[in-house]
């Protein structure tokens, strides 16, 4: 699959970090691939590159739209819009991290295979069958579009540790009202079906 063109002039966008309520919003579908959306995608690709991420979702750059990018362009189009998870299978464990939660990595089991439907930046509908790293990135980025962070999916000691670290990190800011820290329900959080 060809990579979406990246304008050499595209400017990176500052990242949003844990505690920013933007990361908790359920994003709106993209209704039309306008010039604004193309520019956003180009800037997201540049931002992902500069920040050395393997994926980046709209809310992480302050746009609550259903769009994300990933850094595995040989496996699937690097900009995916209005993604829909059709099916999930199996289990795969991977040490996951997030550009919006720097310096934290936790082993997390998620389904190992994903069937996802989305639009490309050219407006074509694509069906993607992914496993291992791409499957992980697609699930992680798709979660961002529902206001869900990977730390929300941790359990037991890992969850307790991550919660303590993040509480200390956002102490004294509005971030202390984050649902992970207050125990409030996260609206977009659904347990992945696994077959
Ligand atoms: Zn992330």
3-state secondary structure of 60: helix
Give the pair of three-digit tokens for residue 95. Answer: 């040490």
CB atoms within 10 A of CB 109: 14
Ligand 1 centre to CA of 111 (Å) is 17
Could you tell me which of 20, 9, 99 has the C-alpha nearest to residue 54? 99
Could you tell me which of 116, 121, 131 has the C-alpha nearest to residue 1? 121
Known catalytic residue at 141: yes
Q: How much is the pLDDT for 4?
A: 55
Q: How much is the pLDDT for 195?
A: 44
HEC string of 141-154 equals HHHHCCCCCHHHHC
Q: How much is the pLDDT for 105?
A: 98
Ligand 1 centre to CA of 32 (Å) is 25
Side-chain-side CA neighbours of residue 1 (13 Å): 19
Taking the model in full, what pTM does it have?
0.92
Q: How much is the pLDDT for 194?
A: 47
In the sheet that holds 125-131, the strands lie side by side as 55-57, 67-70, 79-89, 113-119, 125-131
Ligand 1 centre to CA of 23 (Å) is 9
CATH architecture of the domain with range 21-174: Alpha-Beta Complex (3.90)
Catalytic residue among 52, 107, 141, 161: 141
Q: How much is the pLDDT for 189?
A: 85
Ligand 1 centre to CA of 172 (Å) is 23
Ligand 1 centre to CA of 127 (Å) is 22
Backbone φ, ψ for residue 118 (5° rounding): -160, 175
Compute the distance between CA of residue 172 and CA of residue 132 in angstroms, rounded to an integer: 39
pLDDT along the chain (195 residues), means of 10: 58 97 97 97 97 98 98 97 97 98 97 98 98 98 98 96 97 95 85 52
Q: How much is the pLDDT for 66?
A: 98
Q: Are strands 67-70 and 55-57 parallel, antiparallel or unpaired?
A: antiparallel
Ligand 1 centre to CA of 28 (Å) is 18
Q: How much is the pLDDT for 8?
A: 59
Q: How much is the pLDDT for 44?
A: 98
């Amino acid at each position: 699959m060809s990579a979406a063109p990246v304008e050499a002039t595209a400017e990176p966008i500052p990242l949003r970090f844990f505690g920013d309520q933007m990361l908790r919003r359920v994003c709106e579908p993209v209704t039309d691939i306008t010039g604004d959306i193309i520019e956003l995608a180009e800037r997201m690709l540049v931002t992902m590159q500069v920040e050395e991420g393997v994926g980046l979702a709209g809310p992480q750059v302050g746009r609550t739209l259903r769009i994300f990018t990933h850094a595995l362009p040989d496996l699937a189009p690097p900009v995916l819009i209005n993604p829909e998870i059709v099916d999930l299978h199996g289990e795969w464990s991977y040490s996951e991290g997030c550009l919006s939660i720097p310096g934290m990595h936790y082993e997390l089991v998620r389904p190992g295979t994903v069937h996802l439907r989305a639009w490309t930046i050219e407006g074509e509908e694509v069906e993607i069958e992914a496993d291992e790293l791409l499957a992980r990135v697609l699930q992680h980025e798709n979660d961002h579009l529902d206001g869900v962070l990977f730390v929300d999916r941790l359990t037991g000691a890992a969850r307790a540790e991550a919660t303590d670290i993040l509480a200390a990190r956002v102490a004294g800011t509005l971030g202390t009202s984050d649902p992970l820290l207050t125990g409030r329900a996260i609206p977009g959080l659904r347990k992945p079906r696994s077959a």
